[in-house]
């Protein structure tokens, strides 16, 4: 927040003492008296300390009057440091705006000079490392199109995404139905949704894609599944990234939300939520999974699935899956 080490040490000393002279601060901090005096002048300028009984602490600090024996009072950290923090945030916001403007000018110059600098080819397993780098560097928003094959089928850790969500980054993803049908795919998607990621589902997605803060995008160069892991291209902020963001938003609008909702009010009454056993089943049905895949994700037999489907249709008063979907939507179960 603009305080040097000496200023911080002196302020902390005064907070501990409650009231102290410059000489007492020397004893507390181990700093030279000249350093303590300079720190007190700086702290008074920030409004963090005042000379006790001087009437004008800032004036006393500027003149150095009584710096050796006069007592100093620390300001309430919650008030004084809060104001300083707000001022520093305003300055940082201005700096961020300047950085963004300079970055835009830089990208335009790079585009004119050498368009190839806007892209970088990433090969083989380096794609996984680059995805981790993108996740770690994302500040505000992560957009992903999720389809097979996976970058590292052996790695089912959600830790990178969990850290991202805990930092308050908005995460949205469009999953292909095939991803949810894969072993562990449904459980991972549900876990991510519980952590705060917003997920929608489509029967198919045209390309695997990661977009960080609408500035950097990573996608495979090949559309063939057997060669998709060979190489990918990292696209830096340009009209290309804008086009990829537009593609994501179009697919997002078409996708079906993952999972059951929290219920809705029916006829002005109480909120009615889906019975717990039906929650996962409805979500898997709405995602478009086939019976075999649903049974595998629920870890039950297809015969048991058919029984549960029959019970669900009865609860909803539906004669078909289509009617069940309509009724579930009306009740706020989807």
> What band does 262 get if pLDDT is binned at 50, 70 and 90?
very low
Residue-wise pLDDT tens digits, 81-100: 888 888 888 888 888 888 88
Q: Which two tokens stand for residue 51?
A: 């000379």
**Distance between first and last Cα of the chain:** 48
> What band does 334 get if pLDDT is binned at 50, 70 and 90?
low
Residue-wise pLDDT tens digits, 22-43: 999 999 999 999 999 999 999 9
8 A C-beta contact, residue 334 and residue 325: yes
Is pLDDT larger for residue 332 or for residue 215? 215
pLDDT, the chain, mean = 79
Say if strands 209-212 and 264-265 run parallel, antiparallel, or are unpaired. unpaired
8 A C-beta contact, residue 284 and residue 180: yes
> What band does 259 get if pLDDT is binned at 50, 70 and 90?
low
pLDDT of residue 278: 65
3-state secondary structure at position 145: strand
Q: Any idea which of 58-72, 108-122, 213-227, 314-328 has the lowest mean pLDDT?
A: 58-72
- Here the contacts of 24-28 (C-beta below 8 Å, separation 24 or greater) are 25/72
User: Rounded distance, CA 53 to CA 74, Å?
Assistant: 13
pLDDT of residue 294: 79
Place of tokens 């097979």: 148
pLDDT of residue 269: 36
Cα distances (Å, whole numbers) of residue 247 to 207, 236, 243: 10, 16, 6
Q: Residues with Cβ < 8 Å from 40, sequence gap 6 or more?
A: 10, 22, 25, 49, 61, 67, 72
pLDDT of residue 270 exceeding 70: no
pLDDT of residue 35: 93
What Rg do the C-alpha atoms of the chain give, in angstroms? 30
8 A C-beta contact, residue 151 and residue 229: yes
8 A C-beta contact, residue 211 and residue 135: no
8 A C-beta contact, residue 198 and residue 171: yes
8 A C-beta contact, residue 116 and residue 240: no
Q: Residues with Cβ < 8 Å from 80, sequence gap 6 or more?
A: 46, 47, 48
Beta bridge partners of 175: 146, 201
Q: Residues with Cβ < 8 Å from 215, sequence gap 6 or more?
A: 236, 237, 241
8 A C-beta contact, residue 144 and residue 247: no
pLDDT (mean) for 231-248: 91
pLDDT of residue 274: 43
SS3 content of the chain, % helix, strand, coil (to 5): 55, 15, 30
pLDDT of residue 55 exceeding 50: no
Q: Which two tokens stand for residue 208?
A: 């695997």
Helix (H) or strand (E) run with residue 126 in it: helix 126-137
pLDDT of residue 295: 80
Count Cα atoms within 13 angstroms, Cβ side, for 224: 3
Instruction: Label residue 310 exposed, middle or buried (CB < 10 Å: 0-12, 13-18, 19+).
Output: exposed
> What band does 293 get if pLDDT is binned at 50, 70 and 90?
confident
pLDDT (mean) for 264-275: 36
- pTM exceeds 0.75, yes or no: no
Backbone angles phi, psi at 319, to 5 degrees: -100, -10
């Amino acid at each position: 927040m603009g305080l040097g080490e000496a200023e911080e040490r002196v302020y902390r000393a005064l907070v501990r003492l409650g009231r102290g002279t410059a000489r007492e601060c020397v004893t507390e901090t181990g700093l030279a008296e000249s350093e303590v005096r300079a720190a007190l002048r700086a702290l008074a300028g920030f409004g963090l300390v005042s000379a006790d009984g001087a009437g004008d602490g800032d004036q006393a600090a500027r003149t150095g009057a009584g710096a050796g024996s006069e007592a100093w009072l620390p300001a309430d950290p919650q008030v004084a440091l809060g104001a300083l923090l707000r001022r520093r945030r305003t300055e940082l916001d201005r700096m961020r705006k300047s950085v963004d403007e300079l970055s835009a000018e830089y990208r335009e110059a790079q585009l004119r000079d050498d368009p190839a600098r806007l892209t970088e080819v990433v090969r083989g397993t380096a794609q996984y490392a680059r995805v981790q780098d993108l996740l770690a560097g994302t500040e505000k928003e992560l957009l992903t199109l999720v389809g097979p094959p996976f970058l590292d089928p052996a790695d089912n850790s959600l830790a990178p995404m969990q850290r991202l969500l805990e930092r308050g980054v908005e995460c949205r993803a469009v999953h292909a139905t095939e991803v949810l049908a894969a072993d562990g795919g449904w459980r991972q998607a549900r876990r991510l949704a519980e952590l705060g990621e917003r997920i929608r589902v489509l029967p198919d997605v045209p390309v695997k894609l990661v977009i960080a803060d609408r500035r950097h995008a990573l996608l495979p160069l090949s559309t063939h599944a057997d060669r998709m892991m060979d190489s990918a291209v990292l696209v830096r902020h340009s009209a290309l990234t804008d086009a990829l963001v537009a593609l994501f938003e179009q697919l997002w609008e078409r996708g079906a939300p993952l999972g059951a909702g929290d219920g809705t009010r029916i006829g002005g009454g109480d909120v009615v939520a889906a019975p717990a056993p039906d929650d996962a089943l409805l979500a898997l049905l709405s995602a478009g999974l086939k019976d075999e895949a649903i049974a595998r994700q629920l870890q039950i037999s297809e015969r048991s699935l058919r029984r549960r489907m029959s019970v669900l249709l009865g609860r909803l008063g539906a004669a078909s899956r289509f009617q069940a979907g309509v009724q579930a939507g009306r009740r706020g179960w989807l």
